[in-house]
Amino acid sequence: MPPCATWNAGRWDIVSRMRIPPQSAAFVLLLGAMSAMPPFATDLGLPALGTIAGSLHTSAGMSGLTISLFMAGFTATPLIYGPVSDRYGRKPVLVGGLSAFAVASLLCALAPSIATLLIARLLEGAGAGAGITMAFAIVRDLFSGAPARTRLSMVTVVLNTAPVISPTVGALILTFAGWRAIYGTLAAIGFLVVFASLFGYRESRDRQTIGPRGSLVAGYRRLLGNRSCVGHFLIYGLSFGSAFAYISGSSLVVITLYRASPTEYGLLFACTALGIVFGATLNGWLSTRRTHRLPMLPTGLAGMIAVTVLLTLLALSGPVRLPVLVPLFFLVTFSFGIIAPNASHGTLEPIPEIAGVASGVLASFQMLCATVASTLVSLLFARFGLSAVVGTMLIFAIAAGLAYLAVPRAALSAA
């Protein structure tokens, strides 16, 4: 064998050894890391907003735009990443998008002015959208049925651990290394996930289906023409809007209304946010047990609607003690943890050929609902207080329930 052939064979043998088996827990962690980029990049920098304003000689409002522009970049790009990955494969989109995220994070760390930082954050959000979009699509490429629901539950667990730990980690980094180190940490994480995706993930999109078959518009037309897909992605986004109304308004409720300290707030927020993790873990465990017959999606929706109705009635009846609210908020996030894997599975399962399109719609609609919910809470809180938060939660929960009624019964029975 020629020396060059021997070298090439050895090189590909090393690469093949680095591949992460899709059935392994390490592969789930990789998928979770891909999808956790948006919440991690959003929440890690929250403790540093005031410091950034002072360091770059700008206002608190301008530093707050670092969150808004990141979310703006993230909201739109999954709609592009999805169909592009259906045509050209998941890996190029994944590696390209996360590389952009890592480079933009590095630019944030080095930004000499608030204008540069804001531009870099917009690009960072645009790159982050690739990770969560491809994670959903990759699961559908490799799994279907109960195994897919199990993996989506596991990804939901990893994905929703990030918002719980990010503010605390960000505060520690800020204390010991300054705000620029926060974005440097994001850059390091981004490059690490790019490396793991480049060598650990083998293209999951069937090569026979990659190519210029149909237009971008045709993919979206097919998705929107499928009642099951539409109903499930509406359930996913609207139920997330209900949970996010609490997430976005939690500091207003706990700190402003109940005068809790930031430390107490962080502890209470972690307890309630972990509800998503527990709900998704339970759903994943039940998905592996063929003996269980509990319909998880309607159970999660019923739980969310019932708890948000109770929260609204309590808020309208007069002052509510914080120890009463916290368990109820936990039950809302717990319900979403059950809903999320099943609703995302219901969106992806019927259309494996355009799973990228479906994943893009899932990610973008989720962020759209989160933006609307947080905006409503912000606009109404000054006048209505707690009722603004729980009322918004109730509106989105009922809307998710109505979306469930629109899903064909055959699709629900097959789930």
Task: Decide if pLDDT at 414 tops 60.
Answer: no
Section 28-46 average pLDDT: 82
pLDDT (0 to 100) of residue 312: 94
pLDDT (0 to 100) of residue 104: 94
Tell whether 204 and 221 lie within a shared domain.
Answer: no
Section 217-237 average pLDDT: 84
Please give the Cα distance from 141 to 161 (Å, whole number): 24
The residue among 196, 212, 228 that closes a domain is: 212
Section 386-393 average pLDDT: 91
Tell whether 85 and 170 lie within a shared domain.
Answer: yes
Q: 3-state DSSP: the chain helix, strand, coil percent, rounded to 5?
A: 85, 0, 15
Task: Decide if pLDDT at 362 tops 50.
Answer: yes
Least-confidence region, from 282-286, 383-387, 410-414 = 410-414
Task: Decide if pLDDT at 120 tops 50.
Answer: yes
Q: What is the CATH number of the domain that holds 149?
A: 1.20.1250.20
Q: Which is more confidently placed, 143 or 312?
A: 312
Q: Predicted confidence band at 248 (pLDDT cuts at 50, 70, 90)? A: confident
Tell whether 270 and 205 lie within a shared domain.
Answer: no
Tell whether 236 and 200 lie within a shared domain.
Answer: no
Q: Which is more confidently placed, 291 or 314?
A: 314
Least-confidence region, from 92-106, 237-251, 288-302, 342-356 = 288-302
In a domain, 236, yes or no: yes
Half-sphere exposure of 158 (CA within 13 A, CB side): 20
Q: Which is more confidently placed, 2 or 344?
A: 344
pLDDT tens by residue, 310-359: 999 999 988 888 889 999 999 999 999 899 888 888 888 888 777 788 88
In a domain, 7, yes or no: no
| Six token digits for residue 400 | 């998710």
Q: Show the beta-strand stretches assigned E in 76-189.
A: none
pLDDT (0 to 100) of residue 2: 55
In a domain, 285, yes or no: yes
The residue among 160, 189, 212 that closes a domain is: 212
In a domain, 296, yes or no: yes
Tell whether 226 and 258 lie within a shared domain.
Answer: yes
Please give the Cα distance from 250 to 241 (Å, whole number): 14
Q: What is the mean pLDDT of the chain?
A: 81
Q: Predicted confidence band at 12 (pLDDT cuts at 50, 70, 90)? A: very low
The residue among 170, 189, 212 that closes a domain is: 212
Tell whether 167 and 31 lie within a shared domain.
Answer: yes
pLDDT (0 to 100) of residue 11: 46
Section 363-385 average pLDDT: 84
In a domain, 5, yes or no: no
Please give the Cα distance from 78 to 64 (Å, whole number): 23
pLDDT (0 to 100) of residue 211: 46
Tell whether 138 and 272 lie within a shared domain.
Answer: no
In a domain, 3, yes or no: no
Classify the phi-psi angles of 73: left when phi > 0, otherwise alpha if psi is within -120 to 50, otherwise beta. alpha
Section 233-260 average pLDDT: 84
Tell whether 240 and 121 lie within a shared domain.
Answer: no
Task: Decide if pLDDT at 176 tops 70.
Answer: yes
pLDDT (0 to 100) of residue 16: 56
Q: Predicted confidence band at 207 (pLDDT cuts at 50, 70, 90)? A: low
Task: Yes or no: say if 100 and 127 are a contact pair by the CB < 8 Å rule.
Answer: yes
Classify the phi-psi angles of 367: left when phi > 0, otherwise alpha if psi is within -120 to 50, otherwise beta. alpha
Tell whether 248 and 225 lie within a shared domain.
Answer: yes
From residue 19, how far is each of 137, 142, 180, 199, 396 by CA, in Å?
18, 15, 33, 6, 41
Please give the Cα distance from 278 to 340 (Å, whole number): 12
Q: How many domains does the chain have?
A: 2
pLDDT (0 to 100) of residue 191: 93
pLDDT (0 to 100) of residue 7: 43
In a domain, 238, yes or no: yes
Highest mean pLDDT among 128-137, 187-196, 360-369: 187-196
Please give the Cα distance from 394 to 281 (Å, whole number): 24
pLDDT (0 to 100) of residue 5: 47
Please give the Cα distance from 258 to 275 (Å, whole number): 22
In a domain, 1, yes or no: no
State the Cα angle at 282 between 78 and 129, rounded to 5°: 10
pLDDT (0 to 100) of residue 319: 84
Please give the Cα distance from 114 to 33 (Å, whole number): 28
Tell whether 179 and 297 lie within a shared domain.
Answer: no
Tell whether 254 and 136 lie within a shared domain.
Answer: no
State which residues form the domain around 362. 214-415
Tell whether 197 and 235 lie within a shared domain.
Answer: no
pTM of the model: 0.79
Question: Percentage of the chain surpassing pLDDT 90?
Answer: 20
Q: Predicted confidence band at 413 (pLDDT cuts at 50, 70, 90)? A: very low
